[in-house]
Structure 1
Amino acid sequence: MAAPYSGRCLCGGIRFTIASEPSAILSCFCEHCSKGAGSTNQIIAKFAHADVKISAGQHLIATYTFITDTSSGAPKAKAFCRTCGAPLWTVPASARGTHLLIRPSLLSEHHFKPQSEIFVGHRPAWATAVEGAEQWQGVRGK
Protein backbone atom coordinates (compact mmCIF):
# COMPACT_ATOMS: atom_id res chain seq x y z
CA MET A 1 0.00 0.00 0.00
CA ALA A 2 1.20 3.52 -0.73
CA ALA A 3 0.30 6.95 0.67
CA PRO A 4 -2.07 8.31 1.67
CA TYR A 5 -2.30 6.33 4.90
CA SER A 6 -5.04 6.45 7.51
CA GLY A 7 -4.47 5.77 11.17
CA ARG A 8 -6.19 5.73 14.52
CA CYS A 9 -5.50 5.05 18.16
CA LEU A 10 -6.74 1.88 19.85
CA CYS A 11 -10.12 3.33 20.87
CA GLY A 12 -10.59 5.16 17.55
CA GLY A 13 -10.98 8.54 19.23
CA ILE A 14 -7.95 9.97 17.43
CA ARG A 15 -7.95 9.61 13.65
CA PHE A 16 -5.42 10.95 11.19
CA THR A 17 -4.19 10.72 7.60
CA ILE A 18 -0.67 10.92 6.21
CA ALA A 19 -0.17 12.19 2.66
CA SER A 20 3.42 11.02 2.13
CA GLU A 21 5.72 8.05 2.41
CA PRO A 22 7.99 7.78 5.48
CA SER A 23 11.52 9.10 5.04
CA ALA A 24 12.85 6.42 7.42
CA ILE A 25 11.63 3.30 9.20
CA LEU A 26 13.47 2.36 12.37
CA SER A 27 13.41 -0.24 15.07
CA CYS A 28 14.54 1.34 18.33
CA PHE A 29 15.77 -0.58 21.38
CA CYS A 30 16.38 2.44 23.64
CA GLU A 31 14.87 2.37 27.13
CA HIS A 32 12.19 4.97 26.33
CA CYS A 33 10.95 3.11 23.25
CA SER A 34 11.08 -0.30 24.91
CA LYS A 35 9.12 0.86 27.94
CA GLY A 36 6.73 2.90 25.78
CA ALA A 37 6.01 -0.13 23.61
CA GLY A 38 5.87 -2.58 26.48
CA SER A 39 8.27 -4.75 24.51
CA THR A 40 11.93 -5.10 23.57
CA ASN A 41 11.73 -2.39 20.92
CA GLN A 42 9.45 -0.05 19.05
CA ILE A 43 8.98 0.40 15.31
CA ILE A 44 9.02 4.04 14.18
CA ALA A 45 8.13 5.58 10.82
CA LYS A 46 9.41 9.13 10.22
CA PHE A 47 6.86 11.30 8.40
CA ALA A 48 6.85 14.98 7.45
CA HIS A 49 4.79 16.78 10.10
CA ALA A 50 3.06 18.91 7.45
CA ASP A 51 1.71 15.73 5.79
CA VAL A 52 -0.02 14.46 8.95
CA LYS A 53 -3.59 15.73 9.38
CA ILE A 54 -5.64 15.00 12.51
CA SER A 55 -9.24 14.43 11.40
CA ALA A 56 -10.73 13.58 14.82
CA GLY A 57 -9.77 13.68 18.46
CA GLN A 58 -7.23 16.51 18.59
CA HIS A 59 -8.46 17.19 22.14
CA LEU A 60 -7.60 13.59 23.12
CA ILE A 61 -3.90 13.96 22.32
CA ALA A 62 -1.76 14.28 25.45
CA THR A 63 1.99 14.76 25.54
CA TYR A 64 4.67 13.69 27.98
CA THR A 65 8.01 15.47 27.59
CA PHE A 66 11.32 14.00 28.67
CA ILE A 67 13.38 17.03 29.65
CA THR A 68 16.98 15.77 29.81
CA ASP A 69 16.83 11.98 30.10
CA THR A 70 17.31 11.54 26.34
CA SER A 71 20.15 10.32 24.12
CA SER A 72 20.68 13.86 22.80
CA GLY A 73 20.19 15.60 26.15
CA ALA A 74 17.48 17.75 24.50
CA PRO A 75 13.76 17.51 25.29
CA LYS A 76 11.73 14.81 23.54
CA ALA A 77 7.91 14.76 23.46
CA LYS A 78 5.84 11.57 23.30
CA ALA A 79 2.17 11.88 22.30
CA PHE A 80 -0.51 9.42 23.35
CA CYS A 81 -4.31 9.10 23.52
CA ARG A 82 -5.82 10.33 26.79
CA THR A 83 -8.59 7.72 26.56
CA CYS A 84 -6.90 4.45 25.58
CA GLY A 85 -3.26 5.34 26.28
CA ALA A 86 -2.05 4.24 22.83
CA PRO A 87 1.34 5.76 21.97
CA LEU A 88 1.02 7.90 18.84
CA TRP A 89 4.32 9.54 17.99
CA THR A 90 7.55 10.97 19.31
CA VAL A 91 8.99 14.39 18.56
CA PRO A 92 12.68 14.77 19.46
CA ALA A 93 13.93 18.35 19.68
CA SER A 94 15.73 17.91 16.35
CA ALA A 95 12.44 17.05 14.60
CA ARG A 96 10.18 19.66 16.23
CA GLY A 97 8.02 21.26 13.56
CA THR A 98 9.43 19.11 10.77
CA HIS A 99 8.77 15.41 11.50
CA LEU A 100 6.65 13.06 13.58
CA LEU A 101 8.04 9.63 14.48
CA ILE A 102 4.78 7.69 14.20
CA ARG A 103 4.00 4.15 15.37
CA PRO A 104 3.17 2.29 12.13
CA SER A 105 0.93 -0.16 14.01
CA LEU A 106 -1.61 2.70 14.18
CA LEU A 107 -1.97 2.69 10.40
CA SER A 108 -4.65 0.63 8.69
CA GLU A 109 -1.90 -0.91 6.55
CA HIS A 110 1.39 -1.27 8.40
CA HIS A 111 3.69 -3.19 6.11
CA PHE A 112 6.82 -1.22 6.91
CA LYS A 113 10.06 -3.13 7.46
CA PRO A 114 12.78 -1.34 9.44
CA GLN A 115 15.66 -0.03 7.33
CA SER A 116 17.73 0.68 10.43
CA GLU A 117 17.91 -0.60 13.98
CA ILE A 118 19.14 1.79 16.66
CA PHE A 119 20.40 1.29 20.22
CA VAL A 120 21.06 -2.36 19.32
CA GLY A 121 23.27 -2.73 22.39
CA HIS A 122 19.98 -2.94 24.32
CA ARG A 123 18.57 -5.69 22.08
CA PRO A 124 17.99 -8.91 24.07
CA ALA A 125 20.46 -11.71 23.26
CA TRP A 126 17.62 -13.91 22.00
CA ALA A 127 16.41 -11.32 19.44
CA THR A 128 17.94 -11.30 15.98
CA ALA A 129 18.69 -8.37 13.71
CA VAL A 130 16.31 -7.47 10.89
CA GLU A 131 17.90 -8.88 7.76
CA GLY A 132 19.41 -6.10 5.64
CA ALA A 133 18.79 -3.34 8.20
CA GLU A 134 21.63 -1.01 9.19
CA GLN A 135 22.73 -1.58 12.78
CA TRP A 136 23.62 1.33 15.09
CA GLN A 137 24.83 1.20 18.69
CA GLY A 138 23.17 4.56 19.36
CA VAL A 139 21.19 6.98 17.24
CA ARG A 140 21.22 6.48 13.49
CA GLY A 141 24.41 7.73 11.89
CA LYS A 142 26.44 7.52 15.09
Structure 2
Amino acid sequence: MPAPYFGSCLCGGIQLTVASEPTAVLSCFCEHCSKGAGGTNQIVAKFAQADVNITSGTQLITTYTSTDTCSGAPKAKAFCQMCGAPLWTVPASARGTHLLIRPSLLSEWQHLKPRAEIFVGHRPPWVTPVEGTEQWHGARGN
Protein backbone atom coordinates (compact mmCIF):
# COMPACT_ATOMS: atom_id res chain seq x y z
CA MET A 1 0.00 0.00 0.00
CA PRO A 2 1.48 3.35 -0.97
CA ALA A 3 1.75 6.48 1.18
CA PRO A 4 0.41 7.91 3.32
CA TYR A 5 1.59 5.62 6.09
CA PHE A 6 0.27 5.64 9.62
CA GLY A 7 2.33 4.28 12.48
CA SER A 8 2.92 4.00 16.18
CA CYS A 9 5.34 2.68 18.74
CA LEU A 10 4.60 -0.58 20.57
CA CYS A 11 2.49 1.03 23.32
CA GLY A 12 0.72 3.41 20.89
CA GLY A 13 1.81 6.48 22.85
CA ILE A 14 3.69 7.89 19.86
CA GLN A 15 1.72 8.09 16.63
CA LEU A 16 2.89 9.38 13.29
CA THR A 17 1.98 9.79 9.65
CA VAL A 18 4.34 9.77 6.67
CA ALA A 19 3.13 11.47 3.50
CA SER A 20 5.70 10.06 1.05
CA GLU A 21 7.38 6.89 -0.10
CA PRO A 22 10.89 6.21 1.23
CA THR A 23 13.85 7.27 -0.88
CA ALA A 24 15.73 4.15 0.25
CA VAL A 25 15.12 0.97 2.25
CA LEU A 26 18.18 -0.69 3.77
CA SER A 27 19.04 -3.67 5.92
CA CYS A 28 22.02 -2.94 8.15
CA PHE A 29 24.18 -5.53 9.92
CA CYS A 30 26.50 -3.10 11.74
CA GLU A 31 27.02 -3.61 15.46
CA HIS A 32 24.91 -0.58 16.43
CA CYS A 33 21.94 -1.62 14.31
CA SER A 34 22.10 -5.24 15.46
CA LYS A 35 22.15 -4.20 19.11
CA GLY A 36 19.44 -1.59 18.53
CA ALA A 37 17.20 -4.13 16.83
CA GLY A 38 17.93 -6.91 19.27
CA GLY A 39 18.69 -9.21 16.34
CA THR A 40 20.99 -9.87 13.43
CA ASN A 41 20.16 -6.65 11.57
CA GLN A 42 17.87 -3.66 11.39
CA ILE A 43 15.66 -2.50 8.52
CA VAL A 44 15.39 1.26 7.96
CA ALA A 45 13.36 3.30 5.49
CA LYS A 46 14.68 6.76 4.63
CA PHE A 47 11.92 9.37 4.56
CA ALA A 48 12.07 13.13 4.05
CA GLN A 49 11.75 14.65 7.52
CA ALA A 50 9.31 17.25 6.15
CA ASP A 51 6.91 14.41 5.25
CA VAL A 52 6.87 12.92 8.77
CA ASN A 53 4.30 14.26 11.21
CA ILE A 54 4.23 13.15 14.85
CA THR A 55 0.49 13.31 15.59
CA SER A 56 0.72 12.41 19.28
CA GLY A 57 3.25 11.55 21.95
CA THR A 58 6.10 13.93 21.15
CA GLN A 59 6.75 14.16 24.90
CA LEU A 60 7.50 10.40 24.91
CA ILE A 61 10.31 10.62 22.35
CA THR A 62 13.77 10.18 23.87
CA THR A 63 17.02 10.37 21.95
CA TYR A 64 20.34 8.63 22.48
CA THR A 65 23.31 10.02 20.55
CA SER A 66 26.02 7.59 19.58
CA THR A 67 29.45 9.06 18.93
CA ASP A 68 31.47 5.90 18.28
CA THR A 69 30.23 5.49 14.71
CA CYS A 70 32.06 4.18 11.63
CA SER A 71 31.94 7.60 10.02
CA GLY A 72 33.14 9.35 13.15
CA ALA A 73 30.07 11.61 13.01
CA PRO A 74 27.40 11.30 15.71
CA LYS A 75 24.01 9.75 15.02
CA ALA A 76 20.85 10.20 17.06
CA LYS A 77 18.61 7.22 17.77
CA ALA A 78 15.04 8.03 18.87
CA PHE A 79 12.88 5.67 20.89
CA CYS A 80 9.74 5.68 23.04
CA GLN A 81 10.51 6.21 26.71
CA MET A 82 7.40 4.20 27.72
CA CYS A 83 7.76 0.98 25.70
CA GLY A 84 11.36 1.31 24.49
CA ALA A 85 10.44 0.80 20.82
CA PRO A 86 13.12 2.15 18.44
CA LEU A 87 11.62 4.82 16.19
CA TRP A 88 14.27 6.24 13.88
CA THR A 89 17.92 7.11 13.45
CA VAL A 90 19.33 10.41 12.25
CA PRO A 91 22.94 10.21 11.05
CA ALA A 92 24.76 13.56 11.05
CA SER A 93 24.56 13.62 7.23
CA ALA A 94 20.73 13.46 7.38
CA ARG A 95 20.15 15.91 10.25
CA GLY A 96 17.27 18.20 9.37
CA THR A 97 16.51 16.45 6.09
CA HIS A 98 15.71 12.74 6.64
CA LEU A 99 14.63 10.22 9.26
CA LEU A 100 15.63 6.55 8.97
CA ILE A 101 12.38 5.08 10.31
CA ARG A 102 11.84 1.47 11.36
CA PRO A 103 9.31 0.27 8.76
CA SER A 104 7.63 -2.13 11.19
CA LEU A 105 6.20 0.92 13.00
CA LEU A 106 4.13 1.72 9.92
CA SER A 107 0.87 0.36 8.63
CA GLU A 108 1.15 -1.82 5.53
CA TRP A 109 4.97 -1.79 5.63
CA GLN A 110 5.60 -5.34 4.37
CA HIS A 111 6.15 -4.25 0.74
CA LEU A 112 9.10 -2.03 1.78
CA LYS A 113 11.76 -4.54 0.75
CA PRO A 114 15.39 -3.55 1.30
CA ARG A 115 17.14 -2.46 -1.89
CA ALA A 116 20.56 -2.81 -0.29
CA GLU A 117 22.18 -4.61 2.62
CA ILE A 118 25.07 -2.85 4.32
CA PHE A 119 27.86 -4.00 6.65
CA VAL A 120 27.29 -7.53 5.34
CA GLY A 121 30.65 -8.60 6.75
CA HIS A 122 28.85 -8.70 10.12
CA ARG A 123 25.99 -10.87 8.80
CA PRO A 124 25.92 -14.27 10.52
CA PRO A 125 26.70 -17.11 8.09
CA TRP A 126 23.26 -18.65 8.69
CA VAL A 127 21.44 -15.51 7.43
CA THR A 128 21.06 -15.42 3.65
CA PRO A 129 21.12 -12.22 1.58
CA VAL A 130 17.83 -10.72 0.46
CA GLU A 131 17.46 -11.78 -3.17
CA GLY A 132 18.15 -9.02 -5.67
CA THR A 133 19.64 -6.49 -3.24
CA GLU A 134 22.94 -4.67 -3.49
CA GLN A 135 25.50 -5.99 -1.01
CA TRP A 136 27.94 -3.60 0.70
CA HIS A 137 30.72 -4.56 3.11
CA GLY A 138 30.50 -1.15 4.78
CA ALA A 139 28.19 1.79 4.38
CA ARG A 140 26.63 2.25 0.95
CA GLY A 141 29.31 2.95 -1.59
CA ASN A 142 31.91 0.92 0.29
Q: Name the CA distance, whole Å, in 1 between partners of 2:106 and 2:70.
A: 27
Counterpart position of 1:119: 119
Residue 77, structure 1, aligned to residue 67, structure 2: no
1:13-60, Cα deviation, whole Å (9 max, x unpaired): 000000000000000000000000000000000000000000000000
Q: Secondary structure at the match of 1:94?
A: helix
1:85-119, Cα deviation, whole Å (9 max, x unpaired): 00000000000000000000000111211000000
Q: Secondary structure at the match of 1:100?
A: strand
Counterpart position of 1:141: 141
Residue 32, structure 1, aligned to residue 32, structure 2: yes
- How many pairs were matched up? 141
Counterpart position of 1:95: 94
Between the two proteins, what is the percent identity of the paired residues? 76
Q: Secondary structure at the match of 2:3?
A: coil
Q: Secondary structure at the match of 1:32?
A: helix
Counterpart AA for 2:109: H
TM-score, L = length of structure 2 = 0.98
Where do residues 34-73 of structure 1 align in structure 2 (5 Å cutoff)? 34-67=34-67, 69-73=68-72
Q: Secondary structure at the match of 1:90?
A: strand
Cα distance, 1:71 vs structure 2: 1.2
Residue 14, structure 1, aligned to residue 14, structure 2: yes
Q: Name the CA distance, whole Å, in 1 between partners of 2:42 and 2:108.
A: 17
- Runs of 4 or more consecutive aligned structure 1 residues displaced over 2 Å after TM superposition: none
Q: Name the CA distance, whole Å, in 2 between partners of 1:108 and 1:10.
A: 13
TM-score, L = length of structure 1 = 0.98
